[in-house]
Amino acid sequence: MPLRLFNTLSGTIDELSPQGGQPLSMYACGPTVYDYGHIGNFRTFLQVDVLRRTLNLLGVPVRHVMNITDVDDKIIRNAAAAGIPIHDYTARFEEAFFEDLDSLRVERPEIIARATKHIPKMVALIQKLAAAGAAYQTEDGSWYFRLASFPEYGKLSKKDLSGMEDGARVDLDEYEKDSARDFALWKAAKPGETSWDTAIGRGRPGWHIECSAMAMEYLGESFDLHAGGEDLMFPHHENEIAQSESVTHKPFARHWMHVRFLLVDGRKMSKSEGNFFTLRDLLLKGYKASAIRLALISVPYRHQLNFTFDGLIEATNAIERLRTFHQRLTSGTFAEGANAALQDSAKTAQAEYVAALSNDLNTAEARAPIFDLIRAANTAIDQGQFFSADKTAILAVLASFDRVFDVIADHDAEPTRRAVEWAEQSGRHADVAPELRARQSLTDEAIDALVAERTLAKKQRNFARADQIRNELAEKGIVIEDSKDGVRWKRK
Ligand SMILES: [Zn+2]
């Protein structure tokens, strides 16, 4: 089944297929590493993760390139304020970014490209633009893109840019449509700023040229898909198109995917509103990384996501249902045979799940048949109508679900442990939820020892002590489950 995906450029839902043969070539704008990522950033990275995992599920391998912007106005300003070289400044935020991606189980792109490692490619592209009459140098030594040389400017964002002033310039990397002007490709060195000595003068690249140069370096002049947050559509992606197509005269990316903004409690997220959250903020409040992942991917990418704590709790409960059910199947033993109705339900659920994802990555619709199947299977187990072949069929559906959603297998302890450790090291001890602190204070070995002590106490008919241990653990978020195969525990 092919993936049908909305294409910002055509304005319609188009089939996405690799045109130059496999793998599918895709570029997604990465982070500017000047601070910790917030959940709005991570929604975009997670939806791109859903895209690449869905393509893989459908049998389409990808060659996915992501940039790291490790030099820009904000980085230079913040590094100067901290009195350290920009590389020292960006290194720790880059490390934090990848740690956060790991916490959220976002797969790594095949290629990660750092801007500062590709300066010669950017310079070469600016030279080609100059040769084509699309770039010019100003008196201070900076280079600008000549907007008037690219009449198609605005074709992606469909903005009416007719009021543009010819020859007026903007040297900021981010600006509104009203100030669409000739934009900076190369910024001449200013005293004290990081700069490179190159054939087009001493300076540093503008933000937009980075993505054009690195996308074409790894994917060629024309490639299958370009993705990013909707806030990048203008001016960043328009500028990427203008810079690239002015030189190649070929379509830069054939398909454009934009992930919509996230709201928090119905309002735009902002530090001054007090509704601004990094991933780490949420982990420290005691929410699991898997729940954050599920909450951020369950609303399809083309819809605005209204992030709420109720939504996080809903995601937490959904994961609990998935994991409890999965454990019920894997730990249970079922008689030989098959329940014909359940076998059908499993096939239908799998087909509906794949169809929903193939239909413009409709994650909300993709979830529904999985939970329907769990309900039907639980009923069958309760009625003794569940057999070994049903277990095999349904576990296969769950495995397929987890190839994209990736929340059933429990990897939650490590992100939480890391976040708590980070908080202790960065003076944010007070932000760690008390129950989390208590929970973290118990190592796996300590819990095993308590569970063993409880088993012994029960054997010795010391039920008071056994109950006491169970309650103590429960207070710290550890749940004990007695089954015929022995005692299991898990962190809630
Ligand atoms: Zn970009």
Per-residue pLDDT tens for 289-346? Answer: 999 999 999 999 999 999 999 999 999 999 999 999 999 999 899 999 999 999 999 9
pLDDT score, position 165: 66
CA of residue 389 to ligand 1 center, whole Å: 48
CA of residue 236 to ligand 1 center, whole Å: 6
pLDDT tens-place string over residues 411-461: 998 999 899 999 999 999 899 998 888 777 788 888 999 999 999 999 998
CA of residue 210 to ligand 1 center, whole Å: 7
Tell me the three state secondary structure of residue 113.
strand
CA of residue 31 to ligand 1 center, whole Å: 9
Tell me the mean pLDDT in the region 377-388. Answer: 97
pLDDT score, position 280: 96
Residue 489's nearest CA partner among 463, 454, 437, 460 is: 454
CA distance 80 to 59: 47
pLDDT score, position 272: 81
CA of residue 6 to ligand 1 center, whole Å: 19
CA of residue 172 to ligand 1 center, whole Å: 15
Q: Which of 79-88, 171-180, 345-354, 455-464 has the lowest mean pLDDT?
A: 171-180
Residue 3's nearest CA partner among 53, 61, 62, 55 is: 55
Q: Is the pTM of this model over 0.85?
A: yes
CA of residue 28 to ligand 1 center, whole Å: 7
pLDDT score, position 425: 92
Share of the chain above pLDDT 90, in %: 79
Tell me the mean pLDDT in the region 380-409. Answer: 98
Average pLDDT, the chain: 93
pLDDT score, position 464: 86
Q: Look up tokens 């869905």; give the residue.
A: 54
CA distance 52 to 106: 10
Tell me the mean pLDDT in the region 42-54. Answer: 98
CA of residue 280 to ligand 1 center, whole Å: 25
Whether residue 161 is predicted with pLDDT greater than 80 in this model: the reply is no
pLDDT score, position 178: 64
Tell me the mean pLDDT in the region 197-210. Answer: 96
pLDDT score, position 325: 97
C-alpha distance from residue 71 to each of 67, 115, 154, 401, 405 (Å) = 12, 7, 26, 39, 33
The answer to whether the bond into 2 is cis (omega within 30° of 0) is: no
Q: Residue 492 — pLDDT band, cuts 50, 70, 90?
A: confident
Q: Which of 74-83, 171-180, 203-212 has the lowest mean pLDDT?
A: 171-180
Q: Residue 166 — pLDDT band, cuts 50, 70, 90?
A: low
Q: Residue 475 — pLDDT band, cuts 50, 70, 90?
A: confident
CA of residue 215 to ligand 1 center, whole Å: 9
CA of residue 382 to ligand 1 center, whole Å: 53
Whether residue 175 is predicted with pLDDT greater than 80 in this model: the reply is no
Strands (E), 230-350: 253-259, 262-264, 267-268, 305-307
CA of residue 114 to ligand 1 center, whole Å: 12
Give the amino acid at 273: E
pLDDT score, position 488: 87
CA of residue 88 to ligand 1 center, whole Å: 23
pLDDT score, position 199: 97
Q: Residue 192 — pLDDT band, cuts 50, 70, 90?
A: confident
CA distance 97 to 114: 14
Compute the C-alpha angle 309/29/265, nearest 5°: 20
Whether residue 244 is predicted with pLDDT greater than 90 in this model: the reply is yes
CA of residue 30 to ligand 1 center, whole Å: 7
CA distance 149 to 340: 66
Q: Residue 179 — pLDDT band, cuts 50, 70, 90?
A: low
Give the amino acid at 296: L
CA of residue 162 to ligand 1 center, whole Å: 24
Tell me the mean pLDDT in the region 376-380. Answer: 98
Whether residue 177 is predicted with pLDDT greater than 70 in this model: the reply is no
Q: Residue 474 — pLDDT band, cuts 50, 70, 90?
A: confident
Q: Which of 126-135, 279-288, 300-309, 483-492 has the lowest mean pLDDT?
A: 483-492
Tell me the mean pLDDT in the region 172-176. Answer: 76
CA of residue 487 to ligand 1 center, whole Å: 51
